[in-house]
Amino acid sequence: MPDRFQVTKADEDTVLDYHQDKASGKLLGDIHDETLDSGDIHRAEENQKSNIDPNLYLYDDDLATRPHISTFISSIANYENTIPAATDPDAKPPAPSARMGTLIGVFLPCIQNIFGVILFIRLTWVVGTAGAICGFLIVLTCCCVTMLTAISMSAIATNGVVPAGGSYFMISRSLGPEFGGAVGMLFYTGTTLAAAMYIVGAVEIVLTYMAPWASIFGDFTKDADAMYNNFRVYGTVLLIFMGLIVFVGVKFVNKFATVALACVILSIIAVYVGIFDNIHGNEKLYMCVLGKRLLKDIPIDNCTKDDSFMRDIYCPNNRCDDYYLNNNVSKVKGIKGLASGVFYDNIFPSFLEKGQLISYGHRSIDIENIGNESYNQIMADITTTFTLLIGIFFPSVTGIMAGSNRSGDLADAQKSIPIGTICAILTTSTVYLSSVLFFAGTVDNLLLRDKFGQSIGGKLVVANIAWPNQWVILIGSFLSTLGAGLQSLTGAPRLLQAIARDEIIPFLAPFAKSSKRGEPTRALLLTIVICHCGILLGNVDLLAPLLSMFFLMCYGFVNLACAVQTLLRTPNWRPRFKFYHWSLSLIGLTLCISVMIMTSWYFALLAMGMAVVIYKYIEYHGAEKEWGDGIRGMALTAARFSLLRLEEGPPHTKNWRPQILVLSKLNDNLLPKYRKIFSFATQLKAGKGLTICVSVLKGDHTKIANKAVDAKSTLRKYMTDEKVKGFCDILVAQQIGEGLSSVIQTIGLGGMKPNTVIIGWPYSWRQEGRNSWRTFIQTVRTVAACHMALMVPKGINFYPESNHKIGGNIDIWWIVHDGGLLMLLPFLLKQHRTWRNCKLRIFTVAQIEDNSIQMKKDLKTFLYHLRIEADVEVVEMNNSDISAYTYERTLMMEQRNQMLRALGLNKKENSKVVQTIVDHHYDATRTASKVRFADPTIEETQNHESHNDEKRNSIDSDGPEETDAPEATSKKDESAEKADSKFKSNVKPDEFNVRRMHTAIKLNEVIVEKSQDAQLVIMNLPGPPREVKAERESNYMEFLEVLTEGLEKVLMVRGGGREVITIYS
């Protein structure tokens, strides 16, 4: 929800600001009802009555503190909350541009970030060393990790509006600041080391394949240390140059990204065209092979034993090498083509130890260098294994977060991120997997295993496959690698600055500051220092597994976040992306951990150790943050640990779930009066909240302690039968109302206090008189004062059983916004099998000044961001004149109150006369209704009632009706008629009561018309009268009766004054 939004009433100069507490989501403008002087209230109503929509006058108290739906929806329709992307401080403010779609905003950036230097300089070597089968498995494993992570990321990214921030934002807001800070630093380190790898890769492309003459440490083909020293020196120079570009011209970096993307795409196309162009091979590349060993630095014209060039190398001092004497020298075509059948020679792996010779087969005589002289034979520079190759190749599949990092710039992030990211992974995976097969079917095994192309004169294998010539690949790969390095150097400092600005890691505070130009200069300097440390390693094969650890840790936590949220089933977890499952996330997490340990256990321990240190540092020294994370949500399901960890304050909006307090009324036999109220609580338990059932007995606890024990046992049995998981208790009090107030105020412990109260509707309030409705209204006021939500199910006996399945509609009549509880409740109900097949329909009432079409559009957008599927209908209610029926109904209500006050009867007489007056006045006005609110505990008594009593069962049959003798009835009727005639003349109904009655009747007509056949109608419960006065309270009960007339199953809801649902992740 917006941190601050304004609500303006029509024809009113005063603007009410509604502030939402960032930590708890509480509406600070919402105050509980207070007992005020009746004269002050009357004058206040007189001053403001013209400002209230006549059709919503019943909700006038609510509209003073809670916004009407139209104003609430319009206030958030265009709300944005994003982290600004990198911009050029010197550039002029650009004109507002159109939001990016899936292709430009997600798919192409992911393609650019996933395809990297490894594709061009290492994939052929991986295929040759691992073979076609193992190479395919290596690529497939890496792609599976990213695909499963993308599925988890899509679920998180579509679970609300995700501001720009990528994996750091998603994990920190899902698993908490400790995990978020640790993973954020790992992601930062991985991004920085990726820049180092790109720089070293770019230098390798230039020195090895484009300008070998530029070496400053001699012939690096004969000395590996010379090669790595060249990489270190040139890498440092290139890093300084790129750092200056990032510092001075972010605009250039953003523009160069387009050039780099074009280079990547054109290079890949050139490779594919070249593979099919060379389907029968070519004569460009020949290798010199001694026996089965691959040789280097041997001109093809000199590749024969008869040539003195070879003899001088292998026969120094006239003593020839035994292997040279026993084997022939041959020329082998390097590019054989798909039609040659070379694929079968490249099926199986050829893993080597460091120092072994590259040769055909696995015979020790061919691969072992027995003598100390290497001559011109090519040796393995590192020990290769299946798992090591996974670590080296894995950086080629990273970059899947590019789309989520741009979520603030997307037109529809919840749609674009899953589709764009998954399509990009499918595209790149197809390219990688097909490249493995094509390389294995095109290139000779020895040439594939020649990492630096030394056997063909220091040429890049992929470049010599491409069409039309090798320079397309050399220039394209260099520019794309340079672009990827610039992107990493641009993104990493901003990520570090974002972490520092969250203030969760105190020692990073200096890096939160920006320069006068708005650039994260300090963070950039630190990034350059760390990147230089990576460059000093000087070897892509060392950098790749190291940065793989950091990315794997990051991806593992993304999967963990999705699995935790799914298993917890928090009410806020409503991803619009539906194709996920917790098992897939756990498989992704397992794969990440397995690949880390298999690839390099010491690098894995380094990454894990770094994460643990940062986690503990944040836990003990970091700033406390409440982001509604899943770990704090888990605390709600663990007993002692949770109670110690949860704070007294309310949980974050994302963690809010109904902690239910069921106030169950007992009959004379100590049986719960409404059994199905427990079923309803069970059906709401899809949110996995806490349920406490409490009943209040009237009396002295010292005298009826045994009775209380029996009642508790009965209550527990009902809970067990209805599968309500929770606790129950019995409170004995002198007054029922005071007992209920004590329960509501004191029940619960710490963070496990209930936040939602369910109380039954007092059906017999007319018969029982003031004590009945006074207890009910007092409870409503107490719940509001405690800032708890309230649910009042009416027609509870018609609610479905928990073991039944029903279909139809759940209709929500959203009149005022009081925290979003009306949106959350039907979602929770639909998680239960009973309501799962029901469809949601949301109705809201448009005021005169509202644009109904725009209001409907905004409401659909709001529901889309809430990830709630429902049909939306905006009902237009014209300001029709108050009908004569409304006046008559109001007049009868007031006459009844006046008669009762004048009669001054005792309680027993009052109960009898009240019903007589009710019958007398309502027989003529009672509308046809199918509703019959019955109490199952009195069915047997009802069977013995007279035929005349059955006529009065359509609305209020809560208890057994007392049957009087004919004489008593006649006297009662006579008394009522006298009282009626006394007050019926010269009585004008109160204007405020007429207006409220008008609202109740008009709303009821519309609701019955639209929702009479709905399985459940959920609506706002109007606030109770502020003044404690019998007439106002009685009128309030009458208004609620009129509002719900003709509806079978109604759930009246009143929020607790805080937000319980959010559009954000």
Give, in order, the Cα–Cα distances in Å from 824 to each of 158, 800, 1015, 1019, 1063: 17, 19, 17, 13, 12
pLDDT at 947: 39
Query: For the range 835-838, what are the long-range contacts, defined as Cβ-Cβ under 8 Å and sequence gap of 24 or more?
Result: 835/683, 835/800, 835/806, 835/810, 835/1015, 835/1016, 836/805, 837/805, 837/806, 837/807, 838/806, 838/807, 838/808, 838/809, 838/810, 838/1015, 838/1016
Question: What six digits make up the tokens of 648?
Answer: 């007294």
Question: What six digits make up the tokens of 265?
Answer: 């795409």
pLDDT at 406: 66
Cis peptide bond N-terminal to 575, omega within 30: no
Question: CA-CA distance, 284 to 996, in Å (whole number)?
Answer: 93
Strands 1050-1054 and 789-794: antiparallel
Question: CA-CA distance, 239 to 1007, in Å (whole number)?
Answer: 69
Residue with tokens 């204007």: 991
Give, in order, the Cα–Cα distances in Å from 267 to each of 276, 465, 922: 15, 11, 85
Residue 293, H or E segment? strand 293-294
Residue 301, H or E segment? none
pLDDT at 962: 37
End-to-end CA distance of the chain: 11
- Phi, psi dihedral angles at 724 (to 5 degrees): -90, 115
In the chain, which stretches have pLDDT less than 50? 1-50, 78-92, 94-98, 164, 628-631, 633-638, 687, 905-912, 914, 917-973, 975-986
Question: CA-CA distance, 533 to 801, in Å (whole number)?
Answer: 66
DSSP readout, 509-557? GGGG---TTS--HHHHHHHHHHHHHHHHH--HHHHHHHHHHHHHHHHHH
Q: Which of 91, 486, 90 is nearest to 254 (CA)?
A: 486
Q: Is 709 exposed, middle or buried (0-12, 13-18, 19+ CB in 10 A)?
A: exposed
Angle between helices 250-277 and 470-501 (to 10 degrees): 140
Q: Which of 1019, 960, 992 is nearest to 890 (CA)?
A: 992
- DSSP symbol at 333: E
pLDDT tens string 639-673 = 555 566 655 556 677 667 788 999 998 888 888 98
Angle between helices 386-393 and 582-599 (to 10 degrees): 110
CB 88 within 8 A of CB 249: yes
Question: Hey, what amino acid is at 73?
Answer: I
Collapse the DSSP code of 141 into the 3-class scheme (helix H, G, I; strand E, B; otherwise coil) and give the result.
helix
Question: CA-CA distance, 775 to 662, in Å (whole number)?
Answer: 15
* Residue 688 CB partners (closer than 8 Å, separation 6+): 568, 569, 570, 636, 637, 657
Question: What six digits make up the tokens of 218?
Answer: 């001699």
Residue with tokens 């809970």: 719
Q: What is the pTM of this model?
A: 0.67
DSSP readout, 991-1052? HHHHHHHHHHHHHHHHHHHHHTT-SEEEEEPPPPPSS--HHHHHHHHHHHHHHTTT-SSEEE
CB 219 within 8 A of CB 527: no
pLDDT at 301: 86
pLDDT at 906: 46
